[in-house]
Every structure is written in structure tokens, then in C-alpha cells.
Amino acid sequence: MELSYFLRQASKRERAEVAVVCSDSVSYLYQLAGKHRYASALMATRLEAQTRAVAAGSDGRLATVRRETLVRHPEIFDRRDYRLRVVEERP
């Protein structure tokens, strides 16, 4: 599910839950949804986990927002593993 669709379908309380747990505001979530800003890898992981928790309590109305849709370069994630993939080692 895209973040913009998630925010449209979520209630005001659900949007606030996602924003508070991720230490951001609801307006920042709208900036991410509109692709005016991109989330860091850590923020995208937090958002995915929190939207999963909120979606679990919505009786099928909401779905999890995948973190690949929130970052500028989605290839940094490996879907089989929840950790970030290291592309190259730096000295």
C-alpha cells in the first residue's frame, strides 16, 4: 500500500499514532506521501513496522506501507532480510 492511500484511509487517531511512534508530525508523513521528501532507511523501517501494527487493528481496512516505497533508492533493502543490505564497505 502506498503511504498516500494509507493516510487517506486512516483515521485521525491512526495517523497520529504512526507519527508519534516515528517521532514525526502528520504533516511530515504527508510530505513523504507526496514524494516531496524521502525517508531515511531507518525511518522507512520504523514506518513499515508501525503501519503494520496499525493495520493489524483496523480489521482489514488498512494494509502495511512497504518501506521500499518511502526511500529514494529502494535497492538498499533486501526483502528476505529485515536488515539493511551493505552495498560496499568503507575504510
Domains of the chain, by residue range, sit at 3-76
Distance CA 49, CA 29 (A): 15
CB–CB of 69/3 below 8 Å?
A: yes
Residue 32: pLDDT band with limits 50, 70, 90: very high
Higher pLDDT, 84 or 77: 77
21 C-beta neighbours (distance < 10 Å), count: 15
Rg from Cα positions in the chain: 13
**pTM across the whole model:** 0.78
The cell numbers describing 79, all together, are 526483502
